Amino acid sequence: MVRDPLDLRRYAKTEDGDDLTQALVEEIIEKCLGFEVEQRSLVIGYWSCSYHSYQELCQEEKILYKLISGLHSSISIHIAFDYLLDEATNLWGQNLTLMYDRVLRYPDHVRNLYFTFLFVLRAVTKLLYNPKLQAACPIPFDEANLWKGQSGPELKQKIQQQFRNISALMDCVGCEKC
């Protein structure tokens, strides 16, 4: 099973049935991300609609999950690559322990990083239309099988909205928060 980076699902229900997810998400938003009150509804909306076990997700949602995980891994690697090692001397450098702890120790994070790389590479090869380049680029998933079935159009709209929410969320979080 793919790990949930924050693993908030384990806190979702208490013995008396109270839902703790909302409280935990609000605490994370306030303490970790520093969002203003008006930005919180966007984050809570994304969080509440994205919590399912990986096995319950359809193929399109699994692709979204892998892309988000790969993006998170990429950001973590970039942070570890140029890290403030000593604040007193303003010494910057590579923090390999951080990179290992956040990404490399989890094979699924590395696989999702590779998947995201292939996804972007595939998009570039389609945009440039170079048959030689397209032949050399591995295909990360079968695009022909996406958005099929009765719920295909609704699912496509749902995932497009999730991408918009994620984009808006990332616009709200400055680099200094990382």
pLDDT of residue 172: 63
Query: Residue 64: inside a domain, yes or no?
Result: yes
How do residues 13-22 score in pLDDT, each as one tens digit? 444 444 544 5
Domain contains 9: no
**Residue 44 belongs to some domain of the structure:** no
Whole-model pTM: value is: 0.64
C-alpha radius of gyration, the chain, whole number: 19
Catalytic-residue membership of 178: yes
- Residue 94 lies in domain: 57-146
**Is 138 within the bounds of a domain?**
yes
Residue of 32, 49, 58, 175 with catalytic role:
175
- Band of the pLDDT at 105, cuts 50, 70, 90? very high
Q: How many domains, the chain?
A: 1
Asked whether residue 164 is domain-assigned, the answer is: no
Q: Is 2 left (phi over 0), alpha (psi -120 to 50) or beta?
A: beta
Mean pLDDT of the chain: 73
Query: Has residue 51 been placed in a domain?
Result: no
In a domain, residue 88? The reply is: yes
Active-site residue among 32, 49, 58, 178?
Answer: 178
Q: Judging by beta carbons within 10 Å of its beta carbon (0-12, 13-18, 19+), is residue 172 exposed, middle or buried? A: middle
Does residue 131 lie within any of the structural domains?
yes
pLDDT tens per residue, range 65-89: 888 889 889 989 999 999 999 999 9
Confirm whether 172 is a catalytic residue.
no
